[in-house]
Amino acid sequence: MNTLVSLHNSAFSKIEHMQGWLVPTLARLIFAGVLLIYFWNSAMTKIGDGILGVFKPSDGAYAQIFPRALEAVGYDSSQLGAFQWLVATAGTLAEFVLPALIILGLLTRLAALGMIGFVIMQSLTDIVGHGAGAETIGSWFDRFVDAQIVDQRAFWIFLLIVLVVRGAGPLSLDRIFSRQASSG
């Protein structure tokens, strides 16, 4: 029995030593594989016409972010105010910039915090603005694991919390700039 315990401890102590680089690196890899294209595609639906379209949100941007306000003005986004423009523009930029920062490992902790806030606002908009039903919202401690909001987004936020707590890991611009700052 002591041999089994010793073998177990030996094998898992090696894995434990890898966690410093393994956990944040895998978190960024999983973010890239699962959420990067999701957020970038979502951002693309919000861009208006022209080269500076990111600063001219599309009707789709307002429909996604302010569904009730857009409906109230007869789906004429030109009747919405500066606040709605600012939120739509900032949201679109955030969907491009924050995931890119996480992938690059640059300002990773701040970008992950920003993404957590984004996911929370996205979820609230889905529930309040779009009137998501109970099946879409879901609940914890039930037998269903596929609710889009409570179940899926809990995993998204957990992944982002790992990056807030652990940082980007060794394969990141954060690490390169940290080394340069400490040596110079």
Rounded CA-CA distance 160/5 in Å is: 34
Q: What is the pLDDT of residue 44?
A: 96
**pTM of structure:** 0.89
Q: pLDDT tens across 13-68, in order?
A: 877 777 778 999 999 999 999 999 999 999 999 999 999 999 999 999 999 999 99
Contact 46, 58 (CB under 8 A): yes
pLDDT band at 178 (very low <50, low <70, confident <90, very high): confident
**pLDDT score of 15:** 75
Measure the CA–CA gap between 107 and 109, rounded to whole angstroms. 6
